[in-house]
Structure 1
Amino acid sequence: MVEKTGITDKEEVFRRLREEGYTNLYVWSDSPGTFYDWHTHPFNEVRWVLSGRITMGTREGVVTLGPGDRLEVPAGTEHWAEVGPEGVTYVCGSKLE
């Protein structure tokens, strides 16, 4: 489920995610049209968009994230992603549960 936080300040995003127990935080950027085929992660993952757009799909559905949007992907969830025409910059993080 997408959470529309409206927050795009990197330091504020890092602070909030650290408070929630996320680690391995980093900022990632993808070029327009970048595509990640179906894959999984061994940990719970978060994607918090700072700028641009990215569409992510799971077996349950497809969502598009824009600036300030956040999506948590549970460990082992099959998903794919495609970057919009303006590219995207987002914060990534992992959490054990």
Structure 2
Amino acid sequence: MSLTVEKWDSGAYGELSKPAMLRKLQDEGYDTTVYTFGPGTVFGEHSHSMDKKDAILGGKFLFRMGGDEVILEPGDQLEVPKGKTHYAACVGSEAVTFVDASRY
């Protein structure tokens, strides 16, 4: 399984900002919550009971699923299918501002 990262399209959605990202994800049918995680925060292997999309507003977020790994940066979005085991961690020296988007 290859991880497909969706990059922010400023031509379609305007400059990357919290309101613009929330509007985009909500228009796609997601419920959204914004979190900020400190450097070094780790989310061990886990899964979710709903489809999710991780979206990054600031910092760098390592994401691993199905043997593939990617570093998500501001504007990056990644779909996480329900039931799929994955791992994530904040990398680098700055906090990660993260939009947790869930579709039930």
TM-score by length of 2: 0.85
Q: How many residues align?
A: 95
Tell which structure's C-alpha radius of gyration is larger. 2
Q: 1:41-61 CA deviation, whole Å, 9 max, x = no partner?
A: 000111111010000001240
Aligned partner of 2:38 in structure 1 is: 31
Question: Which residue, 45, 51, 54 being the options, matches 1:44?
Answer: 51
Moved segments of 4+, more than 3 Å: none
In structure 2, the gaps of 5 or more residues are: 10-14
Question: Which residue, 10, 13, 16 being the options, matches 2:21?
Answer: 13
For 1:45 and 1:8, the matched residues in 2 are separated by 20
Aligned partner of 1:71 in structure 2 is: 78
CA contact 1:8–1:51 (8 Å) conserved in 2: no
Q: 1:9-50 CA deviation, whole Å, 9 max, x = no partner?
A: 111111111111101x11111111111110000001111110
Equivalent position SS for 1:46: strand
Q: Kindly provide the amino acid, as one letter, of the partner of residue 14 in structure 1.
A: L
The yes-or-no answer on 1:92 pairing with 2:100 is yes
CA RMSD of aligned residues (A): 1.2
Identify, as 1 or 2, the structure richer in strand: 1
For 1:63 and 1:37, the matched residues in 2 are separated by 16
